[in-house]
Structures are given as C-alpha cells and as structure tokens.
C-alpha cells in the first residue's frame, strides 16, 4: 500500500504544479486546445505491456481532473477580464 500512496502523492503534486502553470499561462484556452489534441490518441502502455483497467481508470481520472483545472482557469480569466 505504501507504493500506491507514494504514487498518489506524486500525482497530486504534479496536478498541483500543472494547475499553477495553467493559471499563469496567458492563454489558457490554447492550453485547452492543445490538451484536447494530445488526448486524441490512445494512452501508451508502460514498457510495452498491456494496459490494465486500473491504468486506464487512473489515466482517465487524471485527464478529467486536468480538463477541469483548465476549464476553471479559462472561467477565472474570463471573469477577471
């Protein structure tokens, strides 16, 4: 369980960092566009192994969280002018 907690902590730290970058970006709508383009393809499997359901769940959940961060940054930018 310790390794899973460690990975979860790493993920949370990276998501927080991405949130800061998106909020500071002068054009978060462009970030949204590039993020959507980057997610057009299937997720890569780690080390050419088959992708598990847990991997896909984590991938999709993280993408959902990042999409929300970007959407919120755009809304905040629009509200402040």
What pLDDT score was predicted for residue 21? 94
Q: How far apart are CA 20 and CA 46, in angstroms?
A: 27
Q: How far apart are CA 47 and CA 27, in angstroms?
A: 34
22 touches 28 (CB < 8 A): yes
In sequence order, what DSSP letters do the residues of 33-59 get, joined into one string? Answer: HHHHHHTTSPPPPGGGPPPPHHHHHHH
- Summarised one tens digit per residue, pLDDT across range 10-68 is 999 999 999 999 999 999 999 999 999 988 877 766 666 677 888 888 888 999 999 99
pTM score: 0.79
What pLDDT score was predicted for residue 45? 61
47 against 77, higher pLDDT: 77
What pLDDT score was predicted for residue 34? 93
């Amino acid at each position: 369980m310790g390794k899973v907690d460690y990975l979860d902590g790493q993920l949370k730290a990276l998501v927080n960092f991405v949130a800061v970058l998106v909020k500071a970006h002068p054009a978060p709508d462009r970030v949204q566009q590039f993020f959507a383009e980057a997610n057009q393809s299937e997720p890569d499997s780690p080390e050419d192994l088959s992708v598990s359901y847990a991997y896909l769940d984590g991938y999709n959940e993280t993408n959902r969280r990042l999409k929300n961060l970007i959407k919120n940054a755009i809304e905040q930018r629009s509200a402040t002018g």
